[in-house]
Chains A and B, each alone.
Chain A
Amino acid sequence: GAVVSQHPSWVICKSGTSVKIECRSLDFQATTMFWYRQFPKQSLMLMATSNEGSKATYEQGVEKDKFLINHASLTLSTLTVTSAHPEDSSFYICSAKPPDKSSYEQYFGPGTRLTVT
């Protein structure tokens, strides 16, 4: 149980285009999902908290107009990188917490590697 999937697993896009990444909780419902970014040889950095039915909460320094988050249902959150630039190339990872688990027992997706050319 407690499986989180992401799609796509990797994507290459041209500078200036937008890319949508999906995060799904496959066997549980999640009112809250989290989006992280990881640059090479660095640790994960929390970008935003995705709340079902309401606006996402962004961490300081993360542009909400550039990283659009939509949590349309209890099993799906999407992250859209708008007008992507090479510096947005990174490993994007989502996580979710099953309702019966403690707050920080979270389950992560496999990640999406974004390369902007």
Chain B
Amino acid sequence: DAKTTQPPSMDCAEGRAANLPCNHSTISGNEYVYWYRQIHSQGPQYIIHGLKNNETNEMASLIITEDRKSSTLILPHATLRDTAVYYCIVRATMYSGGGADGLTFGKGTHLIIQP
């Protein structure tokens, strides 16, 4: 699996867009970029994933560079409840037979939303 690099921490003002970077320069052609977050003392929460096109859902947007060596998770209007550790994970998805595999979490980015 491709290694990812994220800043250990970031601050963002409430109401502003939070942009969380992730470097994955060794990503392979069949590997997707997944983002999860973990609010303190809770289980992780799936946010979004993508392969090469930008993706958007009700939680966030994912921007992947054209060379796929880095990506940015964007929380458009950050609230205090978005304070969490955000994990960027790169894995090749298995679609055959609906298979699944465990996730490998790095250290992530601790995003602190300031009031």
Do A and B make up one complex?
yes
Name the distance in Å between B24's Cβ and chain A's nearest Cβ. 14
**A interface residue count range (under 10 / 10 to 19 / 20 to 34 / 35 or more):** 20 to 34
Q: Is the CB of A46 within 8 A of B100?
A: no
Contact B44 A46 (CB under 8 A): no
Given B38, B43, B91, which contacts A103 in the complex, CB threshold below 8 Å?
B91
Q: Return the CB mask of B22-64 against A: 1 if under 8 Å, else 0.
A: 0000000000101000100111111001000000000000000
Also in contact, A91 and B46, with CB within 8 A (given A46-B103, A49-B102, A103-B101):
no
A111 to B38, CA, bound (A): 11
Total cross-chain contacts (CB, 8 A): 72
B32 and A104 form a contact (CB under 8 A):
yes
The size bracket of the interface on B is 20 to 34
Contact residue among A31, A36, A59, A106 (Cβ-Cβ distance under 8 Å from B46): A106
* With contact pairs A43-B106, A102-B93, A104-B32 given, residues A111 and B43 touching in the complex (Cβ less than 8 Å): yes
Q: Complex: how many Å from CA A4 to CA B42?
A: 12
Cβ contacts A to B, 27 pairs, < 8 Å: A32-B99, A32-B100, A43-B87, A43-B106, A43-B107, A44-B105, A91-B41, A93-B44, A95-B103, A97-B98, A99-B98, A102-B32, A103-B93, A103-B99, A104-B32, A104-B49, A104-B89, A104-B91, A104-B100, A104-B101, A106-B46, A106-B100, A106-B103, A107-B46, A108-B46, A109-B43, A111-B42
